[in-house]
Amino acid sequence: MRCRRCGDKAEIYLKRHNAAFCNDCFQVYYSEQVRKNIRREKMFGSKDRVLVVVSGGKDSMALWHKLLKEGYDVTAMYINLGIGDYSDRSQEIVERFSEEYEAPLIVRNIEKDYGFNIPRLAREIRRSTCSLCGTIKRYLFNKVALDGGFDVVATGHNLDDEAATLFGNVLSWQEGYLARQSPVLPSTHPKLVKKVKPLFTLTERENLAYVLFNGISFIHEECPHALGASSILYKEVLNQLEEASPGTKQRFLTNFLKKGRKNFEACSETPDLRECSICGQVTTAEVCSFCRLRQMAEKKKMKADLWAQESENP
Ligand code: SF4
Ligand code: ZN
């Protein structure tokens, strides 16, 4: 198969575009997609300070590399979630990249910085690890960006992620979520930083090709808690549809953004925002969910300490 742009031997075939590319022309295609997304969606400009959130996976590593190559003012943030070996290995990958490219990196460690372990706390308070993890990540993305004076937070969400989220929200008619699904979440409060997804038109496979073609290391396995997540099932269903009809995922998402979302705008209530009485971050309650989790973790720890003392001195 020959490259559509230059006629050289092709390295990758993109079924949804019915186009094959050599390594160099794939990089051109990839860059054009990212530039178009940033420009059309008014995500950020060359003077903005961008905090790119990295997990060590292919998508966020591709985004970090691409934004650095494009010359943006980028700092990465890695959050060690305390998910055993998986978190430590992904941190190593991210730190190695930061050294190799002399790219600024902020590391947060939930256990060391905040004194609790996500999987343990989830078991103790009987909540799903992913829901706890999501709350903590959203909080830290905003807090670190705000404290560091960043203009925007960029994440590596790709077309597969966005189509699967949309699919899940449609299946259960989550009207509020549908109203807010967008590659750009603007700031709705002076203490909320804008969030953007520059890779929202690129597939997982294209991000994988990008990191492989550029020799970028990444953690190959998924987080162990992702197993059994409904988003994986939605991705499998969408992959089957894509196989039968290439371009389905892209049409589903882009047509929703162009034509569908506006039908849900009325469902997007602007919540009453205030500042958390403990940490000052934006919340809808007196105390934000992150501070409530910390309080719960402290109580559990105090109980465990008391229990240990009583067992030692019965
Ligand atoms: Fe967090 Fe769940 Fe994602 Fe793992 S799969 S990183 S626990 S949200
Ligand atoms: Zn708080």
| CA dist., res. 213 & res. 116, Å (int) | 39
- Please state the atom number of ligand 1 nearest to the C-alpha of residue 222: 5
| CA dist., res. 279 & res. 144, Å (int) | 13
> In the predicted model, is pLDDT for residue 258 greater than 80?
yes
- Please state the atom number of ligand 1 nearest to the C-alpha of residue 129: 7
- How close is the Cα of 278 to the center of ligand 2, in Å? 5
- Please state the atom number of ligand 1 nearest to the C-alpha of residue 118: 7
Name residues contacting ligand 1 (CB within 6 A).
129-130, 133-134, 223, 225-226
The pLDDT tens digits of the residues spanning 192-207 come to 999 999 999 999 999 9
The pLDDT tens digits of the residues spanning 54-63 come to 999 999 999 9
The pLDDT tens digits of the residues spanning 142-156 come to 999 999 999 999 999
pLDDT confidence of residue 314: 65
Structure tokens of 60? 């966020």
- How close is the Cα of 139 to the center of ligand 2, in Å? 9
| CA dist., res. 15 & res. 274, Å (int) | 48
Q: What's the complex ipTM?
A: 0.98
> In the predicted model, is pLDDT for residue 108 greater than 80?
yes
- How close is the Cα of 268 to the center of ligand 1, in Å? 26
